[in-house]
Structure 1
C-alpha cells in the first residue's frame, strides 16, 4: 500500500515517494516536531505479522541509531503506528553511486579510490561497533549534493528478512555483489562486507561488475569459483597495484582477504599517494596545431613549450594570491596568442596546493574565518571552537561549550566576534571566544550564516525565512521582512542598500533598502542555492546543489545557467575582478573562470574531502573547513 502525500505517521508527514525496494517503500517526510525532512522507509505489511521480527527490528533500529559517522546515513529511530512499521533516517539529497556510474560510464581510478576512502571509513567505523552491512553495493551508497559519500541501510539489511541468500527470487542486482560465504548461506562477517566493497571498487573503475552475467547460476559460479578479471586488462592506464587491491579484497577465502577496513584503506591511500606524486611530476605536452609551413609549425611548438615551462616554473612556486595579482595586472592576458588555455595548462594541476593541517579535533567543523594573514577561527559540533595565530599551521582548542552546535562565526578583529548556533542562539565575544555572551533575539529559529557589510552593519540568515539585521556590531538585532519560509543560506551586499540572499528550493531574495525588506525574485531552479556573489550591481552569480552556477547581468531580473563539470554542491564562490573568479565544491573541486563566469574549468585538488565552508583572508589566502576536524590551507 502506497501512502499518499499528507498522510501522518506519528509526527512524520508524508511529502513524496522516493523509491521502492524489496523491504518496502521509502518516502520523503517532514518531521513536524523538529521541522526537518527525513527519509521514512515503511516496511512491507507482512513484516508486522512476525512478532519475533518486530522485536529484533526495533532492537537493531535502536542500536543503529547510536552510530554517528559522516559517511553513514544516520538512523533517527523507528515508527510503529497503524500496523505500519517504519525506519526514520537522515534525508540526503543526492544520487546513488549506481546512478553516478551509469551517468559517467566508469570512473577515473583516482576518483574511484577517493570515494573508496569514505566508504571504507564509514564501514570500518560500523564494524568497530559490531555492525555488519551484508548488502553493500552501489545502489546502497549515496553521494550527497555536497559531495559527501554515505552508506545506507547499515545493520537493517536484507538478511533480516531472508535466512537464505540462495533462496528463489533473490535479485540479480544483489547477487552481483554477494560474497562466496553468503551464497553458501554461511553467517556473514566483516570480510563479507570487504568482498562486496571490492566488487564495488571494480565496478566503479570498469563500469561493470566483475561477474556481469545474465543468469543467477553464472553469477554465483563466478563468485564461488572464478577470479575477477584483472582490471588492468579491462581498462587502460590503470596501475597494477589496483589489481592487487581488488584481488585481495575479493579472495574466495575470508582468511586471505583484508582482515579489516583499516588495512584495505591503508593500501588504497598508499596507491593514492603514489598517483598524486605522479600527477604532480607529469607535464602534459602541448597540442600540436596544423600549419602550412613546417618552419612555422616548429617555431610555434617551440614557443608553446617554452611558455608551458615558464608557467610551470611560476605556478610551482607561486600562490593563488600571486596568480590573482598577475591576472589583474594583465601580465597573463588570456587574449595573448601564446597563452595556453586552462584545460591544457599543466600548471593548473595543483594550482590550489592545498594541504590538510592538524587541528587537534575530529569533530565536524562547519565554519572557518580568518581576520588577517595569521589569525583565524573555526567552529563546529559539540561546542567546538579552535583558534590559530600562525596562519593555520597550529590550532588551539578553546574550552568546550557543551550542548552547543555552532554553525557559523565572524570576527571583526582577533578578539571581537559573533558565533551562531543550531538552537537559534547568537553569542558575542570580546576575548577571543574565551567567554560567550548570549544576545536576545526576536526569533528562535536555527541560525545559519553571518554577513557584515562593514564593522557595524551586518546580517544573520536562518531557517524559515529568517534574516536578522544589526547596526551596532551585533549587540542588538531586528527581524526583517522576507516573504518566504524557506531556509536562507547566504547573503551578499553590492553596496550599502542593494543586497541579495539565497536559500533552499531555489530561493533568491533582493533588497534595495539596506535589508529592511526583501522581495523574492522569479524562481529559476528548485534546487538549493548556497552561494551568492556580485561583481557589481548588475553582474552576479548564485551557485549550489549539483554544481549548478547561474549568472545574471541585469541585477537579478534574468538568470542564465552556466554548465560545469561537477555534480557536488558548491560551497563558495568569489571573483577577484570582473573577469577572474573561482568556485569550490564540498568535494574539494575547483572551478576557475577567466571570462567573467561564462565558462568554468575544472581542477581537482587530488584530495577527496568533505568541505563545509571557505574563508578568504584580507591577504587573499584561502582556507577551508570540513568534516572530521579538517582544515585545508594553501601550502606555501
Structure 2
C-alpha cells in the first residue's frame, strides 16, 4: 500500500499539534480580577478608623483609604460566594460582616483581610444586621427570628432567645448604655435594657415591616421602614410615635451628620433629611431607577451611598437650621423691666 505525500504531511502536522497540546509550557498571564465600586450591589458601609469598608453581593468586600475615590477588593478566606448584608467595626482594627447562609466573617486588620468564623450552607437563611458595643459584645440578627451574640468580639457565637418567633429581624442597634432595639417585619420592635440578656416586644403604631433603626445624638431613637413610615422614641425605645416620612417610598438606611441633620435613603434612590431629630422631613430626591440601601456620614460634607449601583460618594451641604428671630425692642425693654421708648 502506497502512502501519499499529502497523507504523510497530514500525519506530521497532527503529531506536531498533539505534542504541542500536551507538552508543558508556561501559562499565559491574566489580568487580576477587578471589582469596580459601581458594578456590584452594596448593602453595608462602615468606617474602620479613617478607612471605608463596603460589603455586598457574592461576598464582595471593598475598602477605600482616600474617602471613597478609589476602592480595592479585600481578601476573604474562604470565599463562599454568599452575599454579605451588613458590616460593623467594634474598633478601628476589628470588624464583623454578616450575610446569607448564616455567614459571619471577621477582620483584625481594619478590613484588609477577613476570615470566616461561621457558615451554614445547609441553612441558607440570611443574617441581616450586626452591631456591637465597646466591650467586645457583638449581636447578629436575621431572618426567621435569628439572633446570635458573641462575647469575644466576634470569634465565637451563641444563640439568643427572643419573643419574635419566626419573624425576620432586619436591624439591631444599641446606645452603648445597655439599651438595644431590634426592628423587624410586621411591625416587630424588640427592646432590651440589660445589654441583650432579655428582650421585650414594644407596641408601635405601624404593622408593616421596619427595615432599620438609629440612635440619635440627643438620645432619641428612630425606626423606619415600608412606604415612608418613620417612628420616634424619646424614652430609649420604650414607647413609639409616628413621624411624617414625607415620601411613599421604603427607607432602608439612615445616618446622622455632625450638625445633627438626619438623612434617610431608600427605594428608588429616595433621600430625605430632617433638622428636628426626625419629627419632620424634607425631600432631597423623590426617587429614581436605583435603590439606595445604606448611607454613612464620612465627614467634610460627604456621604457614602450604597445600593443597586454600587457605592458612591456625594457632597452634602447640610441645611442650616433657621436662625432664631431677633427680639424686638419692646420685648427687650420689657424683659429688662424698662418702659419702651
For normalisation by structure 2, the TM-score amounts to 0.71
Aligned partner of 2:68 in structure 1 is 392
- 90, 108, 116: which one aligns with 1:437: 116
Matches within 5 A, 1:251-262: none
What is the distance in 2 between the residues matched to 1:399 and 1:361? 19
Question: Which structure shows the higher helix fraction?
Answer: 1
Aligned partner of 1:470 in structure 2 is 150
What is the distance in 2 between the residues matched to 1:388 and 1:482? 37
Deviation for aligned residue 1:362 = 2.1
Structure 1 residues 429 and 580: alpha-carbon distance in aligned structure 2, compared to 1, 3 A threshold: closer
Q: Structure 2: where are the runs of 5+ without partners? A: 1-34, 317-341
1:362 is the counterpart of 2:43: no
Deviation for aligned residue 1:378 = 1.5
The one-character-per-residue Cα deviations of 1:345-366 (angstroms, maximum 9, x if unpaired) are xxxxxxxxxxxxx935623222
The one-character-per-residue Cα deviations of 1:58-78 (angstroms, maximum 9, x if unpaired) are xxxxxxxxxxxxxxxxxxxxx
What is the distance in 1 between the residues matched to 2:136 and 2:221? 25
Structure 1 residues 540 and 578: alpha-carbon distance in aligned structure 2, compared to 1, 3 A threshold: farther
The one-character-per-residue Cα deviations of 1:279-328 (angstroms, maximum 9, x if unpaired) are xxxxxxxxxxxxxxxxxxxxxxxxxxxxxxxxxxxxxxxxxxxxxxxxxx
- 392, 417, 434: which one aligns with 2:95: 417
Aligned partner of 1:517 in structure 2 is 198
Contact 1:420 1:427 in 2 (8 A): yes
Contact 2:90 2:133 in 1 (8 A): no
Contact 1:366 1:625 in 2 (8 A): yes
Deviation for aligned residue 1:471 = 2.5
Aligned partner of 1:562 in structure 2 is 243
Count residues with an aligned counterpart.
Answer: 276
Deviation for aligned residue 1:523 = 4.0
Q: Secondary structure at the match of 1:584?
A: strand
For normalisation by structure 1, the TM-score amounts to 0.40
Deviation for aligned residue 1:573 = 2.8
1:582 is the counterpart of 2:260: no
Deviation for aligned residue 1:545 = 0.7
Aligned partner of 1:547 in structure 2 is 228
Structure 1 residues 475 and 562: alpha-carbon distance in aligned structure 2, compared to 1, 3 A threshold: same
Contact 1:588 1:610 in 2 (8 A): yes
Structure 1 residues 607 and 478: alpha-carbon distance in aligned structure 2, compared to 1, 3 A threshold: same
What is the distance in 2 between the residues matched to 1:458 and 1:519? 19
The one-character-per-residue Cα deviations of 1:108-128 (angstroms, maximum 9, x if unpaired) are xxxxxxxxxxxxxxxxxxxxx
What is the distance in 2 between the residues matched to 1:483 and 1:396? 41
Aligned partner of 1:531 in structure 2 is 212
Contact 1:579 1:597 in 2 (8 A): no
Q: Secondary structure at the match of 1:472?
A: coil
Structure 1 residues 447 and 568: alpha-carbon distance in aligned structure 2, compared to 1, 3 A threshold: same
Structure 1 residues 436 and 619: alpha-carbon distance in aligned structure 2, compared to 1, 3 A threshold: farther
What is the distance in 1 between the residues matched to 2:113 and 2:219? 42
Aligned partner of 1:371 in structure 2 is 48
What is the distance in 2 between the residues matched to 1:399 and 1:618? 27
Contact 2:267 2:292 in 1 (8 A): yes
Contact 2:85 2:98 in 1 (8 A): yes
Deviation for aligned residue 1:515 = 0.6
Structure 1 residues 606 and 539: alpha-carbon distance in aligned structure 2, compared to 1, 3 A threshold: closer
Aligned partner of 2:279 in structure 1 is 598
Question: Which structure shows the higher strand fraction?
Answer: 2
Q: Secondary structure at the match of 1:423?
A: helix
Q: Which has the higher contact order (CA 8 A, sep 6+)?
A: 2
